[in-house]
């Protein structure tokens, strides 16, 4: 496991299941930070794609709720016709000590690297990929978006995913202000039946480990309650 590269800065990975309180924790932390200085700014990078009516409604609801909870936080949202956020580029573009950032979430970012969605010609919505063969409903992979599985023979080669991950980790380590990264912990259930689903669970688990290694803090959320897994103040951790 690598050394923490963000010593002296609060870089926190927040893990948990669906509706565990991950995003709320990040938003509350940013809201407290903003209250300390009116000149401070905050950004929210939302990786979810509004690829159908239900997701559009969900995203709109989240944006409204977030505007009430943290009025001074600006949201950068992935687009409705497949425009993905270039997260590493945005981290480099907005890097400043007086800017806090929430990345929500790693799960969808990884999904988009492994299994990019396509826009149908002339359609107003994204074309959803077919469910992976062997996948079952309510598998651990179906977290905050449907069909979150990867295929080893994806059109996006593995080396490109590795390059994207390396780019992301470099940008995370270079971020000079507070940083909160939300991701799902989906490896606590039984081993999924589908090969593609198992591959995605493995890939996200490995990504979470690599991000945790470069963050000063790691928190696991359950029922709205935080469990500290790693803290820069603790000396008993590798």
> Is 159 one of the annotated active-site residues of the chain?
no
- Nearest-angstrom CA–CA distance, 214 and 173: 7
Centre a 10 Å sphere on the Cβ of residue 178 and count the other Cβ atoms it contains. 22
**How far are the Cα atoms of 11, 128, 129, 193 from residue 165, in angstroms, in the given order?**
17, 24, 23, 27
Please give the angle made by the CA atoms of 182, 183 and 184, to the nearest 5 degrees. 140
Q: Select which of 10, 11, 62, 147 is catalytic.
A: 62
Q: Could you tell me which of 12, 25, 69 has the C-alpha nearest to residue 222? A: 25
Q: Give the SS3 label for residue 94.
A: helix
Looking at the annotation, which residues are catalytic? Answer: 62
């Amino acid at each position: 496991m690598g050394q923490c590269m963000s010593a002296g800065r609060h870089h926190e990975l927040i893990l948990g299941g669906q509706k565990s309180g991950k995003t709320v924790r990040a938003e509350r932390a940013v809201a407290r930070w903003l209250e300390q200085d009116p000149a401070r700014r905050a950004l929210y990078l939302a990786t979810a794609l509004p690829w159908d009516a239900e997701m559009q409604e969900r995203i709109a609801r989240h944006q409204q709720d977030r505007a009430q909870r943290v009025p001074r936080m600006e949201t950068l949202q992935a687009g409705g016709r497949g425009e993905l956020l270039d997260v590493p580029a945005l981290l480099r573009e907005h890097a400043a000590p007086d800017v806090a950032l929430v990345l929500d979430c790693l799960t969808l970012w990884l999904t988009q690297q492994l299994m990019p969605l396509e826009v149908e010609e002339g359609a107003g919505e994204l074309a959803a990929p077919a469910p992976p063969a062997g996948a079952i409903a309510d598998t651990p992979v179906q977290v905050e978006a449907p069909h979150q599985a990867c295929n080893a023979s994806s059109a996006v080669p593995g080396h490109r995913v590795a390059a994207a991950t390396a780019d992301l980790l470099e940008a995370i380590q270079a971020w000079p202000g507070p940083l909160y990264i939300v991701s799902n912990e989906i490896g606590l259930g039984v081993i999924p039946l589908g090969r593609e689903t198992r591959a995605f669970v493995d890939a996200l688990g490995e990504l979470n480990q690599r991000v945790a290694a470069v963050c000063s803090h790691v928190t696991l959320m359950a029922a709205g309650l935080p469990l500290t897994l790693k803290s820069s103040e603790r000396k008993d951790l590798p």
